[in-house]
Structure 1
Amino acid sequence: MVQSFYDCVTNDNEILLVHYLEGWRELIKFMDSMGSVFGFISHETMTKINILQGYLDGENGKSYKTIKSMINYELENQVVNFKYLPSKQVPSGCRTLLRMHRALKWLEVFLYKVGTSPGHDKTSEMCAEAYHKTLSHYHSWFIRQVAEVAFLAMPPVEDMYKIVCVKDHEEAKVVLLTTVDSIVKVYNITQELYTINNMLDLP
């Protein structure tokens, strides 16, 4: 997962979509390893990965090589709808990736909290706090309630250490903060691209 997110970024600070999607596939494996708590997001994220993979494999796949080229192509060809999501139409790549981008911020904040905690905080509380600061702003009341219940079932921090194959908090701190570092750069570049193109609030 970490390698995939590092591989995303080119020397020109462009993000390769194929590695971005691979990073997310690995991230979903990590989430699923913690039980059904992340089921409400991992299923939706896999759907979005498949949509973007479809664009990559399609006749205009070359235009989807990087996030920047995808944005330029979809804007130039008026694929992006800034007012509403057309019914019975596959969402644009820009809209699809924006939803993943928002979720990535939540996971970044959560992993940072775990990595910088004293080692005895509850994962459920840290995950909920990260969710409230990030992804919850884009969810309906119903989804927020589902999330709140799901967080209660999160495994203790010791079990999370086993998932990332470390023995104790000190080892976990290194692994988790390295993971966060790989995510932050990708997130920041993406955020700038969406900001420049006024696309942070796509319906």
Structure 2
Amino acid sequence: MGVKGLAAFTIIFIIALFCYMWLYGALDQQWQYCLKVYIAKDQVNSPSLLGRNSSENNVLTPLRVCPGQKFQAGDLLKHLQAAPVLANDVLLKPYLASWDELIKFLKTLGPIMGLVSQEIESKTSIIRKLAQKEEEDIKRLLRERQSEAGQVSGSSLPLGEPFPNSYSKLPGGAEGGAYVSVRSMMEAELARGLVDFTQLTVSGCRTLLRLHRALLWLQLFLQSLADEDEGGCSPAQLCRDTYRLTLAQHHTFWVKQAAELAFKAMPERAFFHRLVCAKTPVETVIILHMVSGAIGEVYNRTQLALEEHGMLALP
């Protein structure tokens, strides 16, 4: 294999490794930042940092439908705002729908980032499959209870009406199963022994943690993009720096090198004005703050739930 062939093979290998290991590993390293304000490591998860500009910029700029493109900032914001519920919880259905829109966003940033989005999409599909199986199990058990009731009384209950005292025997309880919200998923998987704190296992909680780390990266990137002046750091630099502050803390050396290649192909700032269909740069700033603030609200609630259940370091 010649020198050129070896170089091409190396680049392909790094990209493939990056996509496979996007949310895995750990290696700390010192970095230089383009961001105007250095964010200390212990401040990255601070509620005062995430979404700090959302209220002051929530004045309302209409989120227009952008013709001819899959990503719509309005759809993303709608799902993000539907996710938070009472008791510091997050509904999983709009949470995953928010990721669907963020995946579309990543795919607009170039082919390599599109490959990254495929890995994230595989994470959302894990939770969706678990939720689907849960729903099917509940429906099956309800039919069995109704059949038993019909045999005893000579009549059956209408489909969907619970048999008295049967919900306590159903997985996840009476509110539609374990995978309704972040907290219900955590409590159910812990009770069933699906979460292993010592070795890698496939669970909704572990998968959520990987998505959670990626969410912080995207939240800080959008926030820094809104905060940075037109003549300041490029989107590529901001994306690189926010990655180094967040996901890089959990990635190996080779994954970090592949990430650097991806950031070099990042579009210029004018691309993001068009992406959110803003008429002026000021309008772009307001929209980006609205979206990053909504992401911050979802992130903070998920962070609190992970902390309370001791899940921030799941293998």
1:37 Cα offset (Å): 4.0
Distance 1:104 1:129 in 2: 15
Instruction: Work out whether residues 37 and 154 of structure 1, in 8 Å CA contact, stay in contact via their aligned partners in 2.
Output: no
Measured against aligned partners, the alpha-carbon deviations of 1:154-195 in whole angstroms (never above 9, x if no partner) come to: 000011211111133201101100001110111001001111
Pick the aligned partner of 1:97 from 208, 231, 237.
Answer: 208
Per-residue CA distance 1:57-101 (angstroms, 9 max, x = gap): 113571110000000001111100111114xxxx10000010000
Which among 124, 130, 138 is matched to residue 49 of structure 1?
Answer: 124
1:66 & 1:96 partners in 2: Cα distance? 14
Q: Deviations over 1:118-144 (max 9, x none)?
A: 123311000000000001111111111
Question: What letter is aligned with 1:146?
Answer: A
Aligned to 1:179: 291
1:49 to partner: Cα distance: 0.8
Q: 8 Å contact 2:107–2:117 — kept in the other structure?
A: yes
- SS state of the match for residue 222, structure 2? helix
Aligned to 1:197: 309
Q: Give the distance between the partners of 1:181 and 1:123, measured in 2 at CA.
A: 19
TM-score normalised by structure 2 residue count = 0.61
1:12: how far off?
Answer: 3.4
Q: Is 1:81 aligned with 2:193? A: no
1:137 aligns to 2:249 (yes or no): yes
Distance change in 2, residues 1:199/1:76 (3 Å): same
Match for residue 31 of structure 1? Answer: 106
* Matched residues, number: 199
Cα displacement (A) at 1:13: 3.0
Q: Which one has a bigger Cα radius of gyration?
A: 2
Structure 1 gaps of 5+ residues are none
Task: Tell me the residue number matched to 1:67.
Answer: 182
Higher relative contact order (CA 8 A, sep 6+): 2
Measured after TM superposition, the shift of residue 40 of structure 1 is: 4.2
Task: Verify: 1:114 aligned to 2:225, yes or no.
Answer: yes
| Structure 1 stretch displaced more, 165-174 or 33-42 | 33-42
Determine the structure 2 residue equivalent to 1:160. Answer: 272
The percentage of counterpart residues that share the same residue type is 36
Question: Contact between 2:108 and 2:114, CA under 8 Å: does it hold in 1?
Answer: no
> Which residue of 122, 125, 129 corresponds with 2:237?
125
- Determine the C-alpha separation between the residues in 2 that align with 1:111 and 1:7: 20
Give deviations 1:15-34, integer Å, cap 9, x for gaps: 11000000000111111112
CA pair 111-145 structure 1, distance change in 2 beyond 3 A: same
